[in-house]
Amino acid sequence: MGVLVRIPTPLRTLTKGAAEVQADAGTVGDLIEVLERQFPGLKDRLVEDGGQLRRFINIYINQEDIRFLQGATTTLKQGDEVSIVPAIAGGR
Amino acid sequence: MERPLDRVKGLKCRECGRPYPASPVHVCEFCFGPLELDYDYEVIRARISRARVEAGPKSIWRYADLLPLDLESGEPRIGAAVGFTPLVRARNLAEEWGVRELYVKNDSVSHPTCSFKDRVVAMAIGKAREFGFDTVACASTGNLANSVAAHAAQARLRSYIFIPAGLEQGKVTATLVYDPTVVEVAGTYDEVNRLCAEIGDRYHWAFVNINLRPYYAEGSKTYGYEIAEQLGWRAPAHVVVPCAGGSLLTKIAKALQELTLLGLIPERRTSMYAAQAAGCGPIVTMIQKDTDVLTPVRPQTICKSLAIGNPADGYYAYRAAKDSGGYGEYATDEEIVEGMRLLARAEGIFAETAGGVTVAATRKLIESGRIPRDEPIVMCVTGNGLKTPEPLHDRLGSGASIQPSLAAFDRALADLKSKTGT
């Protein structure tokens, strides 16, 4: 499914500066593979060696944290907006 | 413009150790770990002493040698009177609970906005000026909003304050009065925070708790320094800290470690305890289940200032509590209100709901034997009850209401006495 992916500043060196990219993928897990093919090196920055999403990365689909959905197996729909956001922010 | 400080080497990723220049960045480009200040402690050690601190101003700036702001050129213009709040010996509460030495570090009377956020904001806004920003911003559940708006006004900077819908009216009013631009977002704090991370990527503003976070967070250390100095230059054995994002707990621990490293206090293990609302306790859950994986929650609590379901420093707060031999405890909404009333009734301190969480959690930790009764305990009260009176409505005694005559008062008094049996 075609989705819009928002890329945070630290990863834009890999996307040639693009803040938003289009990708076709069925699930969040697939999306990471697809992004890796489009932008080699991206997967390594998002995922630890064991395949787990890095501790300090949060992924949102249409503003919803994927940890409230089905994590990496969450399915994507045409037109979904996916945000990759560094976890370290906030106070109160 | 900023000039280099000899005590600050730069920023460093807490996870992978990669160095970064001291600039408005907060996340490691490689592993997304948090960036922290990297100090040259030899430079600090050569300069600092108890006498030098004690001769300093009665504010957080007495610890300027341990902070990342450039103050060599004189006194700070922003937040000059922040900090050095009372450390109150809670004798009545200690007696009720059967503990020997109990203290309240009382930031409910922090200048200027009555919460510990003045400490972090003074740091962040000072740094925003050094970096040359003209606009500051924050995501906030209220206390931070108050403080950013106030300090931005002082600094004559524009401010954008993002808050979740449905905050206590007192906190909204105490933000709007400084005339910032307030943006109320239809969502939870976590949603506001995520939005702000994205806004921060697009607009080049100084988000105090995002791109200025390394500097902002350093302000929390002053809370820990003051506890140690006010105890007569010694660390307490136990500190109970209300946790939202979890940063304060980690920074109090760091402050005590720094003072020990610099030889300003004798070595002693201080156990750190996280206090959270039962309806939003992801950090306490990590501690009690002993897992380093944070599971975010959707907050359901009257304690809005602690309603962060996805705490940024959750992992580090968990580590600091575990590594220090501390623990974590929840407080239900009823216990929060009871905690607020207890602190007021016993010690004459009106804390906000987060203070109620701390008091309730401390009591449970003592009763369960997690905190021993014969060692010094500090409870962290970080905000003022006048900002969050809503949960107390209909839960307090109402006294009497009478006509202006002596006879009416006599009748009312007899009535009250018969009700209370005194």
Average pLDDT over residues B93-115: 98
Is residue B103 within 8 A of residue B378, CB to CB? The reply is yes
pLDDT of residue A91: 55
Tell me which H or E stretch contains B235: none
State both tokens at B74.
Answer: 């004189």
Cβ pair A89:B28 closer than 8 A: no
Cβ pair B308:A67 closer than 8 A: no
The fold of A2-86 is: Ubiquitin-like (UB roll) (3.10.20)
HSE, CB side, 13 Å, CA atoms: give it for residue B37.
26
State the Cα–Cα distance between residues B405 and B386, nearest whole angstrom: 32
Cβ pair B296:A68 closer than 8 A: yes
pLDDT at residue B360 greater than cutoff 80: yes
Domain ranges across chain A: 2-86
> From the list B198, B247, B315, which residue is nearest A91 (CB)?
B247
In terms of pLDDT, which residue wins out, B203 or B201?
Answer: B203
Q: Does domain B117-218 have CATH number 3.40.640.10?
A: no
State the Cα–Cα distance between residues A34 and B147, nearest whole angstrom: 44
State both tokens at B56.
Answer: 């300093």
State the Cα–Cα distance between residues B418 and A51, nearest whole angstrom: 70
Q: Say which CATH architecture domain B87-113+220-388 belongs to.
A: 3-Layer(aba) Sandwich (3.40)
pLDDT at residue A82 greater than cutoff 50: yes
Nearest to B290 by CA among B260, B323, B313: B323
Beta-carbon contacts of residue B208 (< 8 Å; ≥ 6 apart): A91, B120, B121, B124, B125, B128, B136, B137, B138, B144, B148, B216
Provide the shortest C-alpha distance from residue A44 to chain B (in Å): 9
Interface check for B14 against chain A (CB to CB < 8 A): the answer is: no
pLDDT of residue B2: 44
> From the list B34, B202, B308, which residue is nearest A88 (CB)?
B34
Cβ pair B198:A67 closer than 8 A: no
pLDDT at residue A89 greater than cutoff 80: no
Is residue B144 within 8 A of residue B209, CB to CB? The reply is yes
Strands A2-6, A20-24: parallel, antiparallel or unpaired by DSSP? Answer: antiparallel
Confidence grade of residue B1 (pLDDT, cut at 50, 70, 90): very low
pLDDT of residue A17: 92
B35-94 residues touching A, CB cutoff 8 A: none
Cβ pair A67:B209 closer than 8 A: no
Q: DSSP character for B351?
A: B
Q: Of A20, A83, A88, which to mutate for an interface test with B (greatest number of B Cβ within 10 Å)?
A: A88
Place of tokens 């202006």: B404
Nearest to B380 by CA among B83, B141, B88: B88
Average pLDDT over residues B385-391: 92
Q: DSSP character for A8?
A: P
Q: Is the dihedral angle over the CA atoms B195, B196, B200, B202 positive or is it negative?
A: positive
pLDDT in tens, B390-415: 999 888 888 899 999 999 999 999 99
Residue B293: closest CA among chain A residues belongs to which residue? Answer: A55
Q: Could you give phi then psi for residue B110, rounded to 5 degrees?
A: -65, 140
pLDDT in tens, B310-348: 999 999 999 999 999 999 999 999 999 999 999 999 999
State the Cα–Cα distance between residues B409 and B136, nearest whole angstrom: 54
pLDDT at residue A1 greater than cutoff 80: no
Confidence grade of residue A90 (pLDDT, cut at 50, 70, 90): low
Is residue B375 within 8 A of residue B98, CB to CB? The reply is no
State the Cα–Cα distance between residues B224 and B228, nearest whole angstrom: 6
∠ CA B362-B363-B366, rounded to 5°? 85
Least confident window among B3-12, B81-90, B210-219, B380-389: B3-12
pLDDT of residue B293: 93
In chain A, residues with a C-beta closer than 8 Å to the C-beta of B310 are 58, 65, 87
Average pLDDT over residues B360-364: 98
pLDDT at residue A9 greater than cutoff 50: yes
Cβ pair A89:B29 closer than 8 A: no
pLDDT at residue B168 greater than cutoff 90: no
Same fold, B87-113+220-388 and B117-218: yes
HSE, CB side, 13 Å, CA atoms: give it for residue A15.
20
Nearest to B170 by CA among B138, B197, B146: B146
Average pLDDT over residues B256-265: 98
pLDDT of residue B398: 81
State both tokens at B121.
Answer: 């904001």
Least confident window among B45-49, B350-354, B390-394: B390-394
Domain ranges across chain B: 1-47, 87-113+220-388, 117-218
In chain A, residues with a C-beta closer than 8 Å to the C-beta of B244 are 91-92
pLDDT at residue A92 greater than cutoff 60: no
Q: How large is the C-alpha radius of gyration of chain B?
A: 22
Name the 3-class secondary structure at B102: strand
pLDDT in tens, A21-74: 999 999 999 999 999 999 999 999 999 888 888 889 999 999 899 999 999 999
Residue B245: closest CA among chain A residues belongs to which residue? Answer: A91
- Is the bond preceding B112 in cis, omega lying within 30 degrees of 0? yes
Average pLDDT, chain B: 94
